């Protein structure tokens, strides 16, 4: 088999510093980088056809590849090309004879193996003559091929980390009506996700409650992803490369959440100065990133600030709504194989109500993270990352007491390609969460709710230690399996529990365009709360760990017109499950550590054509039944919805106008009958249900490209443009609709 690497260095545009001043124009002698190493790229498992991948590489002044991403190309070729690119070495670009950083584009051409020799092989790499390239100095910008590409929105073809994962890229989400450009807001549209209520950023994943869904951003655990009051995500969209949802059977790297895992990947550091901004009715945000030290280092700053309070003061003077978030990242390359990163981010939310001249905080929360990491590469697709994370979470509920969590976590992650068909991954981490709770003098100490609260969230220090390992094995030309396991040890208030979680995933390519996917796993988790709340987690392990047994099997198919389709069936079992929302039996406040036996079975369908295409769209559909067993009663989960459907279309109208629409439909949850805070279980068969709900979201964008590298867009968007009301827990709500008009831009 021949794998042909084509180096197509495309002219890079010069940054302002490299242009010279008008008063003193001077010719700049620029020499593009040259490939100086072998650049063998293994033919990927699961691939059977010829394919091209265009990579965008940032080459440091020392000739190493600092970052690589695929700007064009299909899977699994794109992943293979990206992973291999980090091992490439170049003679660095020079400017007036001095080595400088540069950004170039590569074309990697894969040729399918010949039938008699199906084993993966590596062929010689041929570097084609480079095109003339102009290379900037420290602040090198991405190259601009001819004809010029669209405005520099972030467009990344995802690196599928594991089977059975659903992914949206930021570029796609920008076109998704109702997501307001926030990648994390697209989660609710993915198969297997059952919303609690329209627009509310908490959801069930394959029957698992919101408190059992883990959120990670760039490998760092965060308590939630969205601001209060149907707000946007807590990370500036410009920093989010893509979002993955692992609904079950996820890689061994992830654990401690017995439901799903939502991860967001941060964009790779770039030393070319770039940024973007947005200005909307309720908030404004900006993000900028640039390099220093001749491209060895990068600095990113971003954030969002809402002026909702000002807007609200005009219509609801007694209400205060405020949110903001911040991100800062500094990277520095100690050498071609070593990078230090400091990444800090945080979020703040406040919802207040003024009565009698005194403002009361209805809900306030904040969290901050500082992640310090060291990355070392010791070969092609072989890396080790060690890091330490500091976190501070705080929340205030109606009783006006602040609860806090001071978190410190250390981790090490190893990734090593043992052979062409064997990738080994392993890691370990330890996390200490120190929870505290303010005293509150203005409360009747006999209040039952207060006593339950104090008992459920006592001040203490929880410890979790975990070890994990898995291996991605190409056991046959068309078969890839990923066995793995993780072990977690939990300690809280003198109780210690151990969770042993085996995992197994498999991908079998039936044909060039059809693959069968399996994913199985066991996950353990300490008791969860209603929804993820910063600084609040139930203490103690007397009720044991939650355990989920997850199984899924599906088929992926590449259809004509670049349409991808995935059909999956799943069957999850939850033991000792803490799901206060779903197990709505008895008195909730009196038993915040209520445990139940849960199950969820269903069918998921995901058909998509990239939303960034002239005509793109997707359809997701979930047919599911989620049951609970509690105290000899078996009944549907409180948020069991039989049908959940999302359908979206985005169309390029021409002249940079783009129109999108999205339909969200789901059937109702079992009806609720309450009695003094206690709820009898609904019938196990054919329970009465609240009415179904649907809404239509719309999005219209007009974009202007200014000069060579600036763009600006006018975006009008409306969630629930049909102004439909929803019945939540047998009470009619709404209509909850969110309009948004604003401008976005970048450079």
Partner 1 sequence: MSVRRQIVPLSTLLGVALTACLPKDTRPVPARVDVTLSLSSGGVRVGTVDGWTVTLERGLLGIRSSLRGDACADYAPEGYTRIVDPFLDGHQKVNTLYSLGHCDIGFSVQSPSVDPYTPLGEHVTPADHAFMNVPGLDPYTVTSGKPVATGVAFHVTGRAVRGAQTKTFAWSFRQRTSSSRCAAPLDEREDAGPLRDARASDHGGPVDGGDAGSIPFYSDAGPPGPRGLDLTSAGDVRADLVVHPETLFLDSTNLAVASPRFDVLALADDRYGNGDGEVTIGELGLVPLEEVGGRGRYQQPPPLAEPPPATWKTLEDFVYLGLYPRVVRYRDRGVCDVTIGGGR
Report the interface residues with partner 1, using CB under 8 A: 16-17, 139, 273, 275, 286, 288, 290-292, 299, 301-303, 305, 324, 326, 328, 346, 348, 350, 355-360, 364-366, 394-396, 398-402, 438, 440, 442-444, 446-452, 586-587, 589-590, 675-678
Residue 149 is classified by DSSP as P
Give me the numbers of helices (H) and strands (E) for the chain, helices first please. 5, 43
Task: Tell me the torsion sign for CA atoms 108, 113, 119, 125.
Answer: negative
Listed residue (731, 741, 724, 661) closest to 198, CA to CA = 724
Report in angstroms how near the CB of residue 277 gets to partner 1 at its nearest: 11
Contact in structure between 471 and 454 (CB atoms under 8 Å): no
Report in angstroms how near the CB of residue 284 gets to partner 1 at its nearest: 11
For partner 1, give the closer residue by CB, 29 or 673: 673
For partner 1, give the closer residue by CB, 79 or 298: 298
Report in angstroms how near the CB of residue 31 gets to partner 1 at its nearest: 24
For partner 1, give the closer residue by CB, 97 or 357: 357
Contact in structure between 470 and 484 (CB atoms under 8 Å): yes
For partner 1, give the closer residue by CB, 118 or 687: 687
For partner 1, give the closer residue by CB, 372 or 465: 372
Q: How many angstroms separate the most distant Cα atoms in the chain?
A: 85
Task: Tell me the torsion sign for CA atoms 158, 162, 163, 166.
Answer: negative
Which string of DSSP letters, residue by residue, matches 102-140? EEEEEEEEE-PPPTT--S-------PPPPPP----SSSP
CB count in 10 Å sphere of residue 441? 6
For partner 1, give the closer residue by CB, 307 or 621: 307
- Residues with Cβ < 8 Å from 505, sequence gap 6 or more? 162, 163, 164, 249, 251, 481, 482, 517, 518, 519, 520
Token code pair at residue 619: 């359809």
Listed residue (744, 450, 431, 383) closest to 590, CA to CA = 450
Contact in structure between 547 and 574 (CB atoms under 8 Å): yes
For partner 1, give the closer residue by CB, 590 or 615: 590
For partner 1, give the closer residue by CB, 346 or 602: 346
Contact in structure between 710 and 746 (CB atoms under 8 Å): yes
Report in angstroms how near the CB of residue 80 gets to partner 1 at its nearest: 34
For partner 1, give the closer residue by CB, 23 or 444: 444
Contact in structure between 325 and 235 (CB atoms under 8 Å): yes
For partner 1, give the closer residue by CB, 167 or 331: 331
Report in angstroms how near the CB of residue 96 gets to partner 1 at its nearest: 20
566: left (phi over 0), alpha (psi -120 to 50) or beta: beta
Report in angstroms how near the CB of residue 746 gets to partner 1 at its nearest: 13
Report in angstroms how near the CB of residue 323 gets to partner 1 at its nearest: 11
Give CA torsion, residues 641, 643, 644, 650, to 10 deg: -170
Report in angstroms how near the CB of residue 402 gets to partner 1 at its nearest: 6
Token code pair at residue 662: 């999205």
- Residues with Cβ < 8 Å from 488, sequence gap 6 or more? 255, 256, 464, 465, 466, 498, 499, 501, 524
Report in angstroms how near the CB of residue 299 gets to partner 1 at its nearest: 6
Residue 162 is classified by DSSP as S
Report in angstroms how near the CB of residue 363 gets to partner 1 at its nearest: 10
For partner 1, give the closer residue by CB, 201 or 297: 297
For partner 1, give the closer residue by CB, 655 or 676: 676
Report in angstroms how near the CB of residue 304 gets to partner 1 at its nearest: 9
Contact in structure between 234 and 240 (CB atoms under 8 Å): no
Report in angstroms how near the CB of residue 409 gets to partner 1 at its nearest: 21
* Whole-Å CA distances, 344 to 170, 263, 299: 21, 17, 12
For partner 1, give the closer residue by CB, 326 or 490: 326
For partner 1, give the closer residue by CB, 447 or 511: 447
Residue reference for tokens 């799943």: 570
φ/ψ of 558, rounded to 5, equals -95, 115
Token code pair at residue 269: 């550091």
Report in angstroms how near the CB of residue 365 gets to partner 1 at its nearest: 7
Instruction: Label the pairing between strands 261-266 and 214-217.
Output: parallel
Contact in structure between 385 and 374 (CB atoms under 8 Å): yes
Report in angstroms how near the CB of residue 307 gets to partner 1 at its nearest: 13
Token code pair at residue 8: 């197509």
């Amino acid at each position: 088999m021949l794998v042909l690497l084509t180096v197509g260095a495309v002219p890079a545009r010069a940054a302002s510093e490299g242009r010279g001043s008008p008063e003193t124009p001077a010719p700049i002698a620029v020499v593009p980088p040259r490939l100086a190493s072998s650049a063998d790229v293994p033919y990927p498992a699961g691939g059977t056809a010829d394919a091209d991948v265009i990579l965008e590489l940032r080459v440091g002044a020392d000739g190493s590849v600092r970052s690589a991403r695929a700007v064009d190309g299909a899977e699994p070729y794109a992943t293979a090309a990206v992973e291999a690119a980090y091992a490439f070495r170049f003679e660095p670009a020079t400017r007036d004879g001095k080595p400088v950083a540069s950004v170039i584009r590569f074309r990697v051409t894969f040729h399918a193996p010949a039938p008699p020799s199906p084993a993966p092989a590596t062929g010689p790499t041929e570097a084609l003559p480079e095109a003339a390239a102009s290379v900037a100095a420290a602040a090198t910008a991405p190259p601009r091929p001819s004809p010029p590409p669209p405005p520099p929105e972030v467009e990344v073809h995802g690196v599928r980390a594991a089977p059975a994962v659903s992914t949206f890229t930021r570029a796609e989400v920008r076109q998704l009506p109702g997501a307001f450009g926030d990648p994390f807001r697209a989660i609710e549209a993915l198969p297997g996700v059952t919303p609690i209520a329209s627009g509310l950023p908490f959801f069930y994943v394959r029957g698992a409650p919101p408190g059992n869904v883990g959120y990670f951003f760039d490998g760092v655990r965060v308590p939630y992803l969205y601001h209060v009051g149907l707000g946007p995500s807590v990370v500036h969209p410009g920093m989010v490369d893509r979002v993955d949802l692992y609904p079950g059977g996820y890689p061994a790297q992830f654990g401690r959440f017995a439901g799903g895992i939502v991860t967001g990947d941060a964009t790779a550091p770039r030393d070319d100065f770039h940024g973007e901004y947005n200005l909307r009715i309720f908030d404004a945000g900006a993000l900028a990133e640039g390099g220093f030290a001749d491209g060895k280092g990068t600095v990113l700053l971003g954030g969002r600030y809402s002026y909702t309070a000002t807007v609200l003061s005009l219509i609801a003077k007694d209400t205060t709504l405020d949110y903001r978030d911040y991100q800062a990242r500094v990277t520095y390359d100690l050498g071609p194989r070593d990078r230090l990163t400091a990444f800090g981010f945080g979020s703040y939310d406040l919802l207040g109500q003024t009565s009698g001249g005194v403002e009361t905080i209805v809900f306030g929360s904040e969290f901050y993270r500082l992640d310090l990491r060291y990355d070392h590469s010791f070969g092609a697709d072989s890396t080790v990352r060690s890091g330490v994370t500091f976190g501070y979470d705080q929340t205030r509920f109606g009783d006006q007491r602040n609860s806090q969590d001071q978190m410190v976590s250390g981790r090490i992650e190893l990734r090593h390609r043992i052979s062409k068909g064997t990738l080994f991954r392993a890691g370990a981490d330890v996390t200490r969460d120190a929870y505290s709770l303010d005293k509150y003098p203005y409360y009747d100490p006999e209040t039952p709710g207060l006593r339950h609260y104090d008992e459920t969230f006592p001040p203490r220090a929880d410890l979790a230690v975990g070890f994990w390992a898995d291996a991605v094995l190409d056991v046959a030309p068309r078969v890839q399996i990923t066995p793995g396991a993780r072990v977690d040890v939990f300690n809280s208030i003198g109780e210690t529990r151990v969770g042993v979680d085996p995992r197994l995933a498999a991908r079998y390519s039936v044909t060039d365009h059809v693959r069968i996917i399996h994913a199985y796993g066991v996950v353990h988790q300490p008791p969860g709360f209603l929804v993820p709340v910063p600084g609040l987690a139930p203490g103690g392990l007397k009720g044991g760990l939650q355990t989920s047994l997850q199984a899924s099997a599906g088929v992926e198919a590449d259809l004509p017109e670049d349409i991808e389709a995935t059909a999956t069936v799943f069957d999850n079992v939850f033991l000792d499950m803490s799901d206060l929302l779903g197990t709505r039996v008895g008195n909730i406040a009196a038993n915040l550590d209520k445990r139940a036996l849960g199950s969820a079975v269903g069918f998921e369908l995901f058909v998509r054509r990239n939303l960034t295409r002239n005509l793109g769209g997707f359809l997701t559909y979930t047919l599911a039944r989620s049951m609970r067993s509690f105290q000899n009663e078996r009944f549907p989960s409180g948020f069991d919805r039989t049908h959940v459907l999302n359908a979206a279309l985005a169309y390029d109208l021409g002249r940079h106008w783009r129109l999108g629409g999205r339909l969200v439909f789901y059937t109702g949850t079992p009806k609720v009958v309450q009695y003094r805070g206690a709820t009898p279980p609904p019938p196990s068969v054919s329970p009465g249900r609240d009415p179904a709900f649907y809404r239509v979201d719309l999005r219209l964008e007009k974009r202007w490209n200014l000069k060579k590298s600036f763009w600006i867009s006018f975006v009008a968007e409306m969630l629930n443009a049909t102004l439909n009301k929803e019945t939540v827990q047998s009470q009619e709500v709404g209509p909850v609709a969110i309009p948004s008009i604003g401008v976005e831009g970048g450079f």
